[in-house]
Amino acid sequence: MAGYREGPYHYRIAQYLNTHPGDLQEFVETANSLDDFAKVFDMLKPRVRALAVKFASRIITKTAKQIADTGYRSGKLKIVKGFPETGEIDLDRSLEYFMDEPERGILDNLATYNRLREKSAFVIMIDHSYSMRGLKIVLAAITAATIAYHFKTDFSVLAFSNKVKVLKAINHMTGPEKVVEQLFDLKLQGDTNVRLALEEGLKQVSDFAEKKGLILTDGSWNTGGNPLDMAAKYDKLNVIGFPPANPDKVKLLSNRGKGEFAFVETEKQIANAIIKCIN
């Protein structure tokens, strides 16, 4: 396997893998593999590329599940009597209940907090213009897979440039692996029509009381008109920006959308950015 490291450039890595596809799994599973994978991806032959995506998807979805399982809980707290399996005991309120009705016993007078799930939907909109190459599309795949694990069903995945492609519609059963696979199948091309993406995103979540979204982009809008009025129609619109986007400009979207903003330059920053944007 040492052969693929002999050349100073990633095209030599790609050249080696194209002729030694049996070494793909080891390559993808080595340190810095996702960064290396991102840099050689476009230089791989179609058959080799498909196999590389298969191996990389395992790492991407494993990473995404770890981010999604960070213990985040959404929904409002409601005090109820009794002791459900998922609850936080309020000792002061429990004592009050027991003093009022001691005949009910201790367990029946316990006051616990139950977290009510809010009926909301989430749409992630991923820029796939030509500049979203390399590590940025890998980070977008990690983000999309995390959304899939976290929201389970009530989420949508859109890819946009000067057009919008629905990769996963609301309530359609599509798992994280399939979402990642579809992202890597996309051809990166076109301009950046953020307004059109926001319009389609609103259509996806139109039947839900609370409409939340996340945009991933490495540039500002350059076609389709100013999207800020559309951003304001979301209950919460978050933005993750990548270089060379102007942070001050793309942050305007999250400001108008009453959401969170994160600027990500390295793979190590993506987990905190995702957690910030799904809370």
- How does pLDDT run across 92-111, given as a tens digit for each residue? 666 676 577 777 766 666 66
* pLDDT exceeds cutoff 50 at 4: no
SS (H, E, C) the chain: CHHHHCCCCHHHHHHHHHHCHHHHHHHHCCCCHHHHHHHHHHHCCHHHHHHHHHHHHHHHHHHHHHHHCCCCCCCEEEEEECCCCCCEECHHHHHHHHHHCHHHHHHHCCEEEEEECCCEEEEEEEECCCCCCCHHHHHHHHHHHHHHHHHCCCEEEEEECCCEEEEECCCCCCCHHHHHHHHHHCCCCCCCCHHHHHHHHHHHCCCCCEEEEEEEECCCCCCCCCCHHHHCCCCEEEEEECCCCCHHHHHHHHHHCCCCEEECCCHHHHHHHHHHHHC
pLDDT at residue 209, as a whole number: 87
Which position has the higher pLDDT, 3 or 109? 109
Res. 31 pLDDT band, cuts 50 70 90: low
Q: Residue 105, Cβ neighbours under 10 Å: how many? A: 10
* pLDDT exceeds cutoff 60 at 121: yes
pLDDT at residue 34, as a whole number: 86
pLDDT at residue 116, as a whole number: 42
Q: What is the mean pLDDT of residues 194-211?
A: 94
pLDDT at residue 270, as a whole number: 94
Q: Is the pTM of this model over 0.85?
A: no
Q: What is the mean pLDDT of residues 131-147?
A: 93
Tell me the percentage of the chain whose pLDDT exceeds 90.
60
Half-sphere exposure at residue 9, Cβ-oriented, CA atoms within 13 angstroms:
4
**Domain limits, the chain:** 2-66, 76-116, 119-278
Burial status of residue 55 (CB atoms within 10 A of its CB: 0-12, 13-18, 19 or more): middle
Task: Tell me which CATH homologous superfamily contains domain 119-278.
Answer: von Willebrand factor, type A domain (3.40.50.410)
pLDDT at residue 78, as a whole number: 46
* pLDDT exceeds cutoff 80 at 70: no
Res. 77 pLDDT band, cuts 50 70 90: very low
